[in-house]
Amino acid sequence: MVVQKVNDAEFKAALESHDRVVVKYYADWCGNCRLFAPKFNRMAEEEKNAGIAFLDVNAEQSPEARKLAGVSNLPFFAVFQNGTLVKGDFTSKQESVEAMIDLIRG
Domain boundaries, the chain: 4-105
The string of pLDDT tens digits covering residues 72-101 is: 999 999 999 999 999 999 999 999 999 999
Q: Is the pLDDT of residue 106 over 80?
A: no
Catalytic residue annotation: 30, 33
Which 3 state secondary structure label does DSSP give 89? strand
| Contacts of 87 by beta carbon, 8 Å cutoff, 6+ apart | 78, 79, 100, 103
> Are 74 and 23 within 8 A, CB to CB?
no
Q: Averaged over 49-65, what is the pLDDT?
A: 97
Question: Which of 73, 102, 74 lies closest to 86, judged by CA?
Answer: 102
- What pTM was computed for the model? 0.96
* Topology annotation, domain 4-105: Glutaredoxin (3.40.30)
Return the exposure string of 66-82: e unless at least 16 CB atoms fall within 10 Å of the residue's CB, then b: bebbebeebbbbbbbbe
